[in-house]
Structure 1
Amino acid sequence: MAKILFLMTAADHWTLADGSRHRTGFWAEEAVVPLEAFRAAGHEVTVATPGGAVPPVDPASLAADAVGGAEEAARLRDVIDSAPEFRAPVALSGVRLDDYDAVYVPGGHGPMEDLAVDVDGGRILTGAVERGLPVGVVCHGPAALLAAVGEDGTNAYAGYRITAFTNTEERLAGNADRARWLLQDRLTEAGLKVEAGEPWAPHVEVDRTVVTGQNPASSAPVADELLKRLG
Structure 2
Amino acid sequence: MSKILIVLSAANIWTRADGSTYESGVWAEEFVVMDEKFVAAGCSVDIATPGGVAPTIDPHSMNPAVVGQDNVDHFRRYLDAVADRLASPLVLADIKASDYDAIVIPGGHGPVEDLYKDDDMGRILIEADRAGRIIAPVCHGQAALLAAKTETGGWLFAGRRMTSFSDEEEVELGTADNAPWLLAETLRTSGAAYEKGPNWAAYVVRDGNLLSGQNPASSAPLADAVLKALA
TM bin (shorter chain): over 0.9
Determine the C-alpha separation between the residues in 2 that align with 1:126 and 1:157. Answer: 9
Shift of residue 14 of structure 1? Answer: 0.2
| Matched residue, 1:53 | 53
| Matched residue, 2:96 | 96
Determine the C-alpha separation between the residues in 2 that align with 1:98 and 1:132. Answer: 10
| Matched residue, 1:70 | 69
Note the alpha carbon deviations across 1:50-107, whole angstroms, 9 max, x for none.
000011000110111322x323202202212321332220110001112111100000
Q: Is the 8 A contact 2:162 2:195 kept in 1?
A: yes
Identity %: 47
Q: Secondary structure at the match of 1:176?
A: coil
Determine the C-alpha separation between the residues in 2 that align with 1:188 and 1:87. Answer: 35
Please give the residue correspondences for 1:129-148 in structure 2 after superposition, counting only pairs within 5 Å: 129-148=129-148
Q: Which runs of 5+ in 2 are unaligned?
A: none
Q: Is the 8 A contact 2:138 2:219 kept in 1?
A: yes
Determine the C-alpha separation between the residues in 2 that align with 1:229 and 1:196. Answer: 21
Shift of residue 193 of structure 1? Answer: 1.0
Shift of residue 156 of structure 1? Answer: 1.1
Aligned residues: 230
| Matched residue, 1:117 | 117
Runs of 4+ with deviation above 2 angstroms: none
Note the alpha carbon deviations across 1:19-75, whole angstroms, 9 max, x for none.
0000000100000001010001100111110000011000110111322x3232022
TM-score if structure 1 supplies the norm length? 0.97
TM-score if structure 2 supplies the norm length? 0.97
- Answer with 130-139 or 105-114: which moved more: 130-139
Q: Secondary structure at the match of 1:4?
A: strand
